[in-house]
Structure 1
């Protein structure tokens, strides 16, 4: 998997906690941040799914039948 370097700013307390955890576990800070983001994105996926389900139940959204999607994609 390709990596892309990014720069982030953290509050001092959070940066110190990251330093401490990295030292304790003998891990690179980038690894800890990457793992934390992956777990957080899983959590956000659930929140997005719940939001979309609520919109559907409230009639603010609608579904598209699979047959229509397949037809438009040329997969019939």
Structure 2
């Protein structure tokens, strides 16, 4: 199921989007969906880097799997 959203784009960016959509005979929505989908790998890397930085700085801490099992009352 698709949901509608509203976005604001710079006029130059919108013109480029429209030109690409016209050239490829695709809709704006199709191209935006593809762009966002492709960008998720980059976002995953950014999130991973942030989590590693948070661990290194002490904002977050790691819990070993053994400790998780102990807290859950699971014998290993």
Displacement over 4 Å in runs of 4+: none
TM-score (norm 1): 0.77
Alpha-carbon RMSD across the aligned residues, in angstroms, is 2.3
Query: Where do 5+ consecutive residues of structure 2 fail to align?
Result: none
TM-score (norm 2): 0.77
Query: Where do 5+ consecutive residues of structure 1 fail to align?
Result: none
- CA offset digits 1:3-55 (Å, max 9, x no partner): 00112111110110000000111111101001111122321111110111122
Question: How many pairs does the alignment contain?
Answer: 73
